[in-house]
A and B are shown apart, each in its own frame.
Chain A
Amino acid sequence: MDWQPLLLTFKLASITSIILLVVSLPLAYWLAFGKFKARGIIEAIIGMPLVLPPSVIGFYLLLAFSPSYWFGAWIENLIGLRIVFSFTGLVIASVIYSLPFMVYPLRAGLQSLPLSLQEASFTMGKGRFETFYKILLPNCKPAILTAFVLTFAHTVGEFGVVLMIGGNIPGVTKVASVAIYDEVEALNYTVANQYALVLFAITFAILLIVYSINNRLLRVRQPA
């Protein structure tokens, strides 16, 4: 068995999760406490990847990234990189595809904090950023952990989008899920099985660890 697809999968999932965490923290805060009219529209857009078939996302990304269309051509002229069939392309696609898995738990976590916590901080003269960073975030660690891990796991499980825009290049875009598909297609069930078992074991372990940690964190916070 070749370990490369598995390593690539975890590299993709790690990078995607880190980028999404950075992007989603302010976004979740804004959705949780911001006062604006278009909330419904923004929420609907963020939630789209939950509902749309990955093939739809993959198809549109393929067209968007293709140098025959203006966006892809523009990017290629700008930075000299073709996004489609590249690792960067997969990262961008995964960030879009996994966005709700990061934003929703974060927003729920922020919203579940009592408002008085924020207000107390404001009264004591702390600004919005400091309150967010020093008061709110440390108080919703379980939500952050859940969001991060769900995003990671969801990216590991990504298949349809990668299949559409990846081009199956070994070491670049051939992630584990696509490698499994490939081996099944070639009637090579033994290798497909090995990949699948490794993924199975690792994802189970990750989720198990996260939920154990979360349970402990939540128990600590509950009043006895």
Chain B
Amino acid sequence: MNFQRIIFLFSILLAGCSKPSDKIIIATAANVQYVMQDIKKEFEKESGKKIEIVVSSSGKLTTQIREGAPFDVFVSADTKYPQEIYTRGGSDEKPKIYALGTLVLWAKNIPSADLKIEILSEEKIRKIAIPNPRVAPYGEAALQVLEKQKSFDQIKKKLVYGESIAQTAQYISSGSVEAGFNALSIVLSPEMKGKGQWIIVDSTLYKPIEQAAILLKHSADSPKKETSRQFYDFLYSKKGREIFKKYGYK
């Protein structure tokens, strides 16, 4: 095969890759992943457009967006990360809160009647999982709750940290830990149904978990601009809010 032919084949290959698509990509925080499936279905039905969902932790998604990942809307688990993107000029408008998260205490093998925060200091609870409080808002909230307990010093020794809400859920639902904290939206999801017992944590014990989304910057002639805006608005629409409510968000 001569050189020109190779070049020719390569250019065909590349042409196939660069075909512009108006399918938008939604960067989604792990705690919202199950809700997002419903949102996606509803949005696609309403708009007739297809969207793609990428699930990861908010910290990782923020890093990726900073380094130029081709995401169109970022649905974060908190307000800190989207704010960081906004400050760095990744968007033309400020992030907006779409939901308030609810913290739950969750255990695989403890009967509902016994499940309360006080039980965590008991000896039979050997390990307690919380999402890493440095990066995950639900972990931060869980730590606030625990710090208010009299026996915090005892509890602290039992803590293990999931790198995300999803990993923490895995630790709890697999029974690797006796109990742990998670998001109401996760325990309400069909995937986690029947995997242990949970109770809603008194919301006065932690600062509200404000979850915000941000519409990422697009060039004026981007084919994705319009759909992204449409999706962003859908998150805050009546229909969007109803879906979030179904999953326990306020």
Contacts and interface: CB of A to CB of B under 8 A. Distances in A.
A86 B161 CA distance: 12
A68 B176 contact: yes
Nearest to A170: B161
B176 A65 contact: yes
Nearest to B171: A167
A178 to B, nearest CB: 8
Contacts of A72: 176
A182 B135 CA distance: 8
Contacts of B176: 62, 65-68, 72, 84-85
A187 interface: yes
B108 A168 contact: no
Interface string B102-140: 000000110000000000000000110100101100000
Given A67-B176, A68-B174, A82 B126 contact: yes
Interface in A159-206: 163-164, 167-169, 181-182, 184-187
Contacts of A168: 132, 160-163
The interface size bin for chain B is 20 to 34
A181 B175 CA distance: 25
A185 B135 contact: yes
Interface residues of A, number: 22
Contact of B129 (A63, A68, A167, A185): A167
A85 B62 CA distance: 28
A11 to B, nearest CB: 19
A66 B175 contact: yes
Given A68-B108, A68-B109, A186-B135, A181 B163 contact: yes
Contacts of A69: 175
B228 interface: no
Nearest to A84: B176
14 contacts: A62-B170, A66-B175, A68-B108, A82-B127, A84-B176, A164-B167, A167-B129, A168-B161, A168-B162, A182-B135, A182-B163, A184-B59, A186-B134, A187-B63
Interface of A: 62-63, 65-69, 72, 82, 84-85, 163-164, 167-169, 181-182, 184-187
